[in-house]
Amino acid sequence: MSETFRALLVTKTDDGQKSEIVDFNEADLMEGDVSVDIAASTINFKDGLALTGASPIIRKPALIPGIDFSGTVTASDNPGFKPGDKVVLNGWGVGEGHHGGYAEKARVKGDWLVKLPEGLSLEQAMAIGTAGYTAMLSVLGLEKQGVKPGDGDVLVTGAAGGVGSVAIALLSKLGYRVLASTGRASEADYLKSLGAEEIIDRAELSEKGKPLGKERWAAAVDAVGSHTLANVLAQTAYGGTVTACGLAQGPDLPATVMPFILRGVKLIGIDSVMAPKAAREEAWSRLAKDLDLKKLDAMTTKAGLADLPKLAGDILAGKVRGRMVIDVKA
């Protein structure tokens, strides 16, 4: 007789979807060669879209959402993992088409897992989560284009959110001078505590702007998209680099080619979902080395499975500051 465990299950209904905490049967988990006892999960913007049904993220009639989890391997048919290994999962369609992290247990493909790097706890890994891992991929994207701390300011948009908060902490520790764009003026002290030197009102960037503006920053990490990304590109200095990793304002890009053909600006796409394992391992290794864990702790709050439906609406409304760890046992 298989065991049951607590999970948040989203079920499609005639008029939308419903979410409820259930006792889920372990035998009903999907195929995979590694079983994991989940320690923690988190909530990202994408999770908010999935839990509210605001976007068709969930592709099954009934699914455990949650695109992230950390935990301990309990059984493995994969040669890369053994019982007792501490692991992290981000993306790979988990929480979209495969049962995800809002549960006490998971069964997944070992190829989707990364071993927890030394220096991080399972809870800290979820304080980082997809948002922080995406921020690290963005910083690596800037580095690979040759952006150095002495080149000029680096702008971070959506600064008080998860990606933005971690990006500021990483960039400031690495020696970059960081500008933070936010619509939450009350978060100025918080953003400066993470390492931002200047705060920019997002209203300066969120409306339709000129095809080319004054050169204001050498590089940028954008988690917002739409008019914001268009204006960021238009105000990036000659030869600068912008990483695009989110769509909090929208998926459109109402820009012109002017920044690219007149200033040689580079737009680098950041994909966290299907990034190859080598890129993931590099990102997690760098997070363990380059992220100030005191700043991570300062940007993190905790909640339980039952809090997720409300948090989903809050994160879409821009009301969640920094990062959120979900204790799946609570």
Question: Do both 67 and 165 map to the same domain?
Answer: no
Assess if residue 90 is contained within a domain.
Answer: yes
**What is the distance between the alpha carbons of residues 316 and 45, in angstroms, rounded to a whole number?**
6
Query: What pLDDT, on a 0 to 100 scale, did the predictor assign at position 117?
Result: 97
Tokens of 177: 């001078």
Query: What pLDDT, on a 0 to 100 scale, did the predictor assign at position 2?
Result: 64
* CB contact at 8 A, 323 and 299: yes
The domain that holds 247 is classified in CATH as: 3.40.50.720
**Largest Cα–Cα separation, the chain:** 67
Give the contacts of 130 (CB within 8 A, at least 6 positions apart): 42, 44, 46, 67, 68, 90, 91, 272
Strands 266-269 and 236-244: parallel
* CB contact at 8 A, 235 and 213: yes
For tokens 């991080």, the residue is 120
Assess if residue 121 is contained within a domain.
Answer: no
Assess if residue 108 is contained within a domain.
Answer: yes
Domain range for 146: 130-269
Query: What pLDDT, on a 0 to 100 scale, did the predictor assign at position 228?
Result: 98
Assess if residue 80 is contained within a domain.
Answer: yes
Question: Do both 171 and 202 map to the same domain?
Answer: yes
- What residue ranges of the chain have pLDDT lower than 70? 1-2
Question: Do both 139 and 239 map to the same domain?
Answer: yes
Query: What pLDDT, on a 0 to 100 scale, did the predictor assign at position 33?
Result: 97
Assess if residue 36 is contained within a domain.
Answer: yes
Domain count, the chain: 2
Question: Do both 140 and 180 map to the same domain?
Answer: yes
Assess if residue 293 is contained within a domain.
Answer: no
**What is the distance between the alpha carbons of residues 43 and 127, in angstroms, rounded to a whole number?**
9
Query: What pLDDT, on a 0 to 100 scale, did the predictor assign at position 330?
Result: 86
